[in-house]
């Protein structure tokens, strides 16, 4: 009977996946300055993500900031390739206007051994003059 209980606990624990974490934990990104280059990084930990499963929006429009996944260059078999890493989102650009802007990261992790989990995190970037 003890053996059966241990087996059931082991099976049940295999069905739960870790929740994805979006970092930094605080909801405010670095302060930006108008007409000066800005860059900050948002990381998604815990789970597989790709181009189809992650969305980032920066609002209101016209801030001068954009988002892109980190680009990783590698060589394999004599060929040089470029891979986009959606676990590291880079917010960058030259801010055009002052104000508070929202960056929303949303989506889901891909189901592999476990079912996928939702991702949602809202950040604020203050752009000063």
Give CA separation, 58 vs 52, 92, 112, 122, in Å. 18, 11, 30, 10
pTM over 0.95: no
The strand ranges marked E within the chain are 21-23, 32-33, 38-45, 54-59, 65-76, 79-93, 99-108, 118-128
Domain residue limits, the chain: 18-128
User: Cα 52–57–60 angle (5° rounding)?
Assistant: 160
* Nearest-angstrom CA–CA distance, 64 and 78: 38
Residue 31 pLDDT greater than 90, yes or no: yes
Q: Which residues pair with 56 in a beta bridge?
A: 105
Residue 29 pLDDT greater than 90, yes or no: yes
Percent of the chain with pLDDT over 70: 84
Cis geometry, peptide bond prior to residue 24 (ω within 30 degrees of 0): yes
pLDDT digits (tens, 9 = 90+) for 103-119: 999 999 987 666 789 99
Looking at CATH, the fold of the domain delimited by 18-128 is given as Immunoglobulin-like (2.60.40)
In this prediction, residue 17 has a pLDDT band, given cuts at 50, 70 and 90, of low
């Amino acid at each position: 009977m003890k053996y059966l209980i241990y087996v059931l606990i082991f099976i049940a624990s295999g069905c739960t996946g870790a929740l994805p974490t979006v970092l930094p934990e605080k909801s405010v990104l670095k302060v930006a300055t108008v007409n000066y280059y800005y860059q900050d990084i948002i990381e998604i930990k815990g789970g597989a993500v790709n181009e189809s499963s992650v969305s980032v929006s920066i609002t209101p429009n016209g801030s001068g900031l954009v988002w892109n996944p980190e680009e990783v260059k590698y060589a394999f078999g004599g060929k040089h390739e470029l891979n986009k890493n959606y676990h590291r989102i880079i917010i960058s650009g030259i801010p055009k206007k002052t104000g508070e802007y929202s960056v929303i990261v949303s989506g889901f992790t891909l189901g592999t051994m476990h079912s996928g989990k939702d991702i949602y995190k809202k950040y604020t970037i203050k752009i000063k003059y």
